[in-house]
Amino acid sequence: MKTRIISGTILTLVAGTCMVLGGLWLIGLMTAMALIAFFELSRATGLHVKGTPTNAFESAAYVSIVVMYAFIYLDYVGIGLGLWSTIFLMFLLIIYVVKFPTYDASQMMRAFFCVMYGPFLFSYVYRIRALENGQYLIWLVLICSALNDTFAYFIGSAIGKHKLAPKLSPKKSIEGSIGGIIGGALGGGIYGWFLGANVYHSTNMWWILAIICGLSSIIGQIGDLAASGIKRNYNIKDYGTIIPGHGGIMDRVDSIIVTAPIIYYLSILFMDLDFTAISW
């Protein structure tokens, strides 16, 4: 537990500092984490076999991740990401054809999945930071994830009786799940009240962020269960060991990678609408 607390504190301080600074600091940290996330996923899914050299699919994936984050940093998130994903897939197809039958189709599919599931979805954290007032909105990712997990754990431990997904995570309950959603929405509402009073000067921010965090908590729980399912499919306990007491990068961001895109798009949707005529 002591090791877990120390490593968790250090990770939080480093990530929090980079989130505040933004720019190269944040994109640099996220690129490194994305590369490690792919490293963990490639081994978990069997794309890479331990003790063997990095294969061509992995090499193409590592290069593509760096290029993707460069595009995002340079704000080429429209045609740039579309071009990136198309070229990456084409490279995988070329490798598959040229090297046939060295690699099989399942390896190619795993390479594409491991990039899109971990590194690509994780990139939305930076994209939130790049939004207008992103220096404030980015904290929704941590608020939603932390309060969802905390409320789900304590409420599930106290009154949880009905299993949520017994085959995926036997300890999770429906009561805990509902508690997590409430916790996320509550955290978003409180933070929204603060932002509404000090940044947006709007009385509507509390319920806008409550909705965003409530919906994101639902998706976050699905992401957590999906990550558990992948680990069960491949008979592994943790994705990695890089964070003492916590496991790998993917073990820490499994809910964040699906929460961040929801927060990003809902933030754009709500911020672009005119709520001045509505006051709750």
DSSP annotation string for 200-233: S--TTHHHHHHHHHHHHHHHHHHHHHHHHHHHHH
Both tokens of residue 101?
Answer: 């039958």
Both tokens of residue 57?
Answer: 């699919």
pLDDT per residue as tens digits for the range 110-152: 999 999 999 999 999 999 999 989 999 999 999 999 899 999 9
Supply the pLDDT for residue 272.
63
Half-sphere exposure of 113 (CA within 13 A, CB side): 15
> With helix as H, strand as E and coil as C, how does 102-166 read?
CCCHHHHHHHHHHHHHHHHHHCHHHHHHCCCCHHHHCHHHHHHHHHHHHHHHHHHHHHCCCEEEC
Both tokens of residue 215?
Answer: 């919906």
Give every CB contact of residue 114 below 8 A, 6+ residues apart in sequence: 38, 41, 42, 45, 47, 61
Helix (H) or strand (E) holding 86: helix 79-99
Supply the pLDDT for residue 163.
92
Is residue 276's pLDDT more than 50?
Answer: no
Q: Taking the CA atoms of 253, 112, 262 and 35 in sequence, report the sign of the dihedral they define.
A: positive
pLDDT per residue as tens digits for the range 165-209: 888 888 899 999 999 999 999 999 999 999 999 988 888 899 999
- Which residues are bridge partners to 33 per DSSP? none
Percent of the chain with pLDDT over 90: 68
pLDDT per residue as tens digits for the range 216-250: 999 999 999 999 899 999 999 889 888 877 788 99
Rounding to the nearest 10 degrees, give the CA dihedral for residues 249, 236, 261, 4. Answer: -40
CA distance 134 to 136: 5
* Mean pLDDT rounded to a whole number for the chain: 90
Supply the pLDDT for residue 113.
96
Report angle CA 249, 221, 225 to the nearest 5 degrees.
70
What is the pTM (predicted TM-score) of this model? 0.91
Is residue 274's pLDDT more than 70?
Answer: no
CB burial of 2-38 (b: ≥16 within 10 Å; e: otherwise) equals eeeeeeeeebeeebeebbeeeeeebbebbbebbbbbb
| pLDDT category of residue 275 using cuts at 50, 70 and 90 | very low
Length of the chain in terms of residues written: 280
Burial class (CB in 10 A: 0-12, 13-18, 19+), 222: middle
**What residue spans define the domains of the chain?**
1-130, 132-280
Give every CB contact of residue 248 below 8 A, 6+ residues apart in sequence: 36, 37, 40, 238, 239, 240, 241, 242
